[in-house]
Structures are given as C-alpha cells and as structure tokens.
Structure 1
Amino acid sequence: MKDPYLYPNTEIMINKFNIKNSKELNSMEADFTSSRLKDIIQYGLEGKFDLEHLLKYHFTIFQDIYYWAGQLRTINIEKSEPALGGISIEYSDVDNIKSDIVFILSKVKSIYWNELNIDNKSNLFSRFIADLWKVHPFREGNTRTIITFCCNYAEKEGFPLDTDLLKDNSDYVRNALVAASAKFHDLGDKSNLEYLTRIIEDAIERGKNK
C-alpha cells in the first residue's frame, strides 16, 4: 500500500521544508521539536486531557515540520523493532484509534491517584503510558507526544515526574514501551511492564525533590 505521508519511492516524510535527506530532516525536526517541547514545559498547554487535548500536543510539537501535525494517522502502520527481532508492535487499527484513546483516557481519569502508594502509582501510570503509546495515533512523533502529555497529566494529578530522567534515557524508555506493548494475536502476550515501571518509579521519586 502506498504511504501518503512519504515522498514517492523513499522512506522520508513529506515536510514543510521539502527536505528529502533523512539526516537533514531528522536534524531539523529535532531542533524545532526541542524548542516546542521547552515551551510546553515552561508554559504548559491548556486542555482537559482528552482526545482533543492530545491532538493539540502533537500539533504544538510538530507544527513547524509536518502539514499533518495534530491529525490522527489515516493508514495502518508497522515499525520494525530491533528489540523484538524486527517484529512490529500491533498498533491500533486506523478505524479504532479514536475509540481506543477515549477508552484509555476515560479509564485513567477514574483512578484516585492521591490514594495510591508509590508501587501502585508507578505500575498504573506505566500501564497508562504503554496503553496510550500502543495506539500510536500519529504517523510519526508518538513517543514524544505521549510521554509529554502523560507527564503533564501526572503533574496535574499531583505527582510530577523528573522529565529530565526520561529525556536523558529516551532509548531505554522507548524500548521499555516496546516491551510493555508486546501483545500479539498470533504469538500471544509477550509483554513486560517491569522495565517501564522501574524508570517511571524513579522519575516519580525524583520529581518529589524538584
């Protein structure tokens, strides 16, 4: 199937600068998104932590680079994961993205976070991040958007995370998300939440002291 997000016969995302060199595009994207993420950290991003708010996060972070910033993907996607021997996580079907997000956000808002001890809080919050990430609602930029969205939600609920810890260990965090999301219709449930819970617990503990 033709991917409408890519320049023909390439693996490069169509972008506002018409850059067709992957290294140059990645560098440009990193510069712009880093600036936007700093703005979000400093000024916040008003919303109700619902689907519309999540789209607003993605738009704010990627608006300088992609025309489709803030829009749900329109195709099904696969991404080869080295941590899984090249297998892709089974992301949400394009027809289920909205309903999956609404369900996850509705469920997380029913949790009384201030009544939980650190172990339960870390476990439930890690599950929340992993479930939302597994939807992979956007064609690109899911990890940055969802981690930022979820961390701001945690801050609203009274347990801010040390986001520098997550940023400085971004490769570990993504691999942990992959491990937590490794559920397959043919291979069964191979998921392991422990790696993600470990760093989330550390981030919560360090967040108390900031």
Structure 2
Amino acid sequence: MNEDRKTITDFDEYIRQGEPEKREKAYIWQTAIGLQAVDGLTTSDYLNETAKRHIEGEIDIDEVRELIKTYYRSKSNREPDDDEKREADGVSANISKILSNRTLDFSTQGYIALHRRIFAGIFKHAGRVRDYNITKKEWVLENETVNYLNWEDLRRALDYDIEQERNFSYKGITADAMISHITRFVSGLWQIHAFGEGNTRTTAVFTIQYLRSIGFDITNDMFAKHSWYFRNALVRANYKNALKGIDYTPIYLERFFRNLLLGEKWDLRNRYLHINPTEEWKVQPNLADRTSAGQAQDKCAAIDDTLQDKLHTNNPNIEKLVRMLGEQQMSVKQIMEALGLKGRDNFLNLYLKPSISKGYVRLLYPDSPRHSRQKYLLTVKGLALYLEIIGKQ
C-alpha cells in the first residue's frame, strides 16, 4: 500500500498525436481508469481494449458499458480477482460517460446522484447516504483512522459546505488564496464521507466537474496518475493527533492542486505523506526548482508565468465579451445589444461559443441550456482576465 500506484493502461499515444476528439476521450479514460487506484483496483485487459475502440470511434460509450456487462455475465472461466476487475471496469466506464458530459448539478442532491451514477450496477447502495458510522485504517497514518462525520449529520454538512462554496467569490483573490480555498472545500467535502464506499472517487469526479464549471481546463493526467496521492493527501488534511504532535496538514493537498491548476512540479509520491517518513522522504521537493537558493524566486516566477498562460487569449472577440460582461449576468439579447451586434448566429459562433469552450464564460443554468431565464456570466478564469484587462486601462 505504500508504493505509488500506476495505471496499467497507457493512452499517451492518443494524447500526444491524436485528433482533438480522440485526445479528449483518451484523457477521460486515463482519468477514469486511474481513479480506481484509490481503492487498490486495476481494470481488465478487456476494458482497456474496449476503451480504445471507443476512442477510435468504433463504438459509443453506452456500447462500452453494455459490452462490459456482457463480458462478465458470459465469462466461463472465473478468476480470483474477477469481482475487483468487474468493479474497476464498470466504474471506469461509468466515470468516462459522466466526464464526457460537461454539466454539473452543484448541490447536495447532485453530489448524491453522482455517486449513484458512478456505481450504478456495481454497489447495491449506489446513491444511498450511509446510516452508520465508519472508521478506516490508513497506511499513511500507520493504521489509524480519520474521524469521519457522524452519520446523522451527513446531509446537513453537505448542504452547508456546498452552499458556502456556491456563495464564495473568487474575484480578485491571489493564486495562493485560490489554491488554499479550493483545498479547504474539497478536503471538507471528502471528510464528510457521505457513503459507505466510493467516497474518494465521487469526490474526485465532483471536483473535476466543479473546476471545469468555474473555468479551469482539467484535461491532464493528474487524477489519472496521482489518484492514490490525492487520497492520502485528503487523509493527511483531515488527521490530527495531539499526543503525537500531528496537526491537520493541508499542504500536501495544496501541492496536488498547485500542480493541477498552476502547472507546478511538486514530486507527488506517497512516501512524503507518511506521518513517520524516513529521512529520505521528509522533505517533498518541487522538481521545477533548479537550486535551493533560487526556490522562492523560481516559484513566484512559475506561478506568474502559468497564470499569464492560462488567462491569455489571442481571440479579440473573447476579450471584448469578457470586458463587456465584467461582473454582470446578461442574456444573449442583452449582450448583443451591449456589443452593438445584430447577427445572432455570428455572435454565437464568433463570441459566445468560443468564450464558453475556452472557460471564460459559463451558463447561469448549465443543466438547462434552453432555460427561459438563461443568462451568461464570467467564470473564475474569466473574472481574472477581466481584472487583468481593466488593470491595464
């Protein structure tokens, strides 16, 4: 359990050289399969080959799911790890379908429904909030457990955390403050541990969906290749032992998100997270630092450069739309009038759709694109670009 887990499937060839649609599918499959490592699971060769057929466009995602079900129903030669493989395969296919869709129900019911969708056909209790208390022995804590929330308080805690995040404004905050806040939200959501099983995978998928919804382009291999680190970082963020002099330690989870969102290069190996690491593993290095003397300067420069890259756009239409929207919520008609545009199709194709696809603008009602009161507003990324634009004026 103390070794870093690797995904057994490599879709890097699709990611490096594939067409955009194939690349996107490969990223999603890589993430879905990699997340199984948080529960010590690996997918079957059959799933891996079937996923490649989906990436190639031979079959759709629902056909993948049906093929996986049929494979295990008709399998004549049973193997000792069939149950584990079946779970990993089925959950990977379910997650792949979920991540292919960019919508998000950011609510308690949406979070619970996500668990149901991830584990449909796998767990009988999929989508059911636990009605008992739990403990889990953790390698990183030398077989001690995090204190998870009492089962009677689960829904109230979910309501509170999600509502607090819904009302939080990222406007004008620094990169450090942003990472710290996201870390606290995700850590708190996971510590609730609303379900009997599958909490980390549910939290990871919900986090990916949420970060996408507020403007981040989560299309790398962080969750795929470092899912076990992600889980152990959540454990360390929620464990305190006064007798052993151990306090809550969110720094490891912050470093995961710094790599994910700011492009930093922290060495994400699990041995750094152990409560009693050996001398070799006491200091977690940032692999981007060239010399110890230049660490602070390099770090600040890396953050500034990364943020500039993530905010920058060469599309003047996106910039015009961002500048005009600012901190407002506006309908298509209102936006077109403010920009002095008359052709709706040209506006949608040249302004609105590119701004949404690049993560600068989002829908007020993302689950109902044709909502009668639909309006558009800036994402966190869009707000950051807006503040940069007006700061130059």
TM-score normalised to the size of structure 1?
0.82
Give the Cα separation in 1 of the matches to 2:152 and 2:243: 21
Give the Cα separation in 1 of the matches to 2:241 and 2:192: 14
What residue ranges of structure 1 are gaps of 5+ in the alignment?
A: 1-16
Q: Trace 1:1-210 onto structure 2 (pairs within 5 A).
A: 23-47=81-105, 49-162=106-219, 164-183=221-240, 190-206=247-263, 208=310
What's the CA shift for 1:162?
A: 4.2
Q: 1:151 to 1:159 in 2, by over 3 A?
A: same
Give the Cα separation in 2 of the matches to 1:101 and 1:22: 37
Identity among equivalent positions (%) equals 27
Give the Cα separation in 2 of the matches to 1:111 and 1:22: 48
Q: 1:22 to 1:74 in 2, by over 3 A?
A: farther
Secondary structure of the residue aligned to 1:57 is helix
Alignment check: 8 A CA contact 2:154 2:194 kept = yes
Alignment check: 8 A CA contact 2:129 2:194 kept = yes
Alignment check: 8 A CA contact 2:183 2:250 kept = yes
Alignment check: 8 A CA contact 1:57 1:70 kept = yes
What's the CA shift for 1:99?
A: 0.9
Give the Cα separation in 2 of the matches to 1:43 and 1:110: 24
What's the CA shift for 1:114?
A: 4.2
Q: 1:22 to 1:72 in 2, by over 3 A?
A: farther
Give the Cα separation in 1 of the matches to 2:261 and 2:170: 12
For structure 1, which segment, 88-97 or 113-122, has the greater mean C-alpha deviation from structure 2 after superposition? 113-122
Give the Cα separation in 2 of the matches to 1:161 and 1:178: 23
Secondary structure of the residue aligned to 1:43 is coil
Q: 1:179 to 1:46 in 2, by over 3 A?
A: closer
For structure 1, which segment, 83-92 or 148-157, has the greater mean C-alpha deviation from structure 2 after superposition? 148-157
What's the CA shift for 1:25?
A: 2.1
Which is bigger in relative contact order (C-alpha 8 A, separation at least 6)? 1
Alignment check: 8 A CA contact 2:104 2:210 kept = no
What's the CA shift for 1:190?
A: 1.9
Alignment check: 8 A CA contact 1:179 1:192 kept = yes
What's the CA shift for 1:45?
A: 4.4
What residue ranges of structure 2 are gaps of 5+ in the alignment?
A: 1-71, 73-78, 264-305, 312-357, 359-393
How many pairs align? 193
Whichever of the two has the greater Rg, that structure is 2
For residues 144-190 of structure 1, give each alpha carbon's deviation from its aligned partner in whole angstroms, at most 9, with x where no partner exists: 10111122112111223345212210111111010001136987862
What's the CA shift for 1:112?
A: 1.2
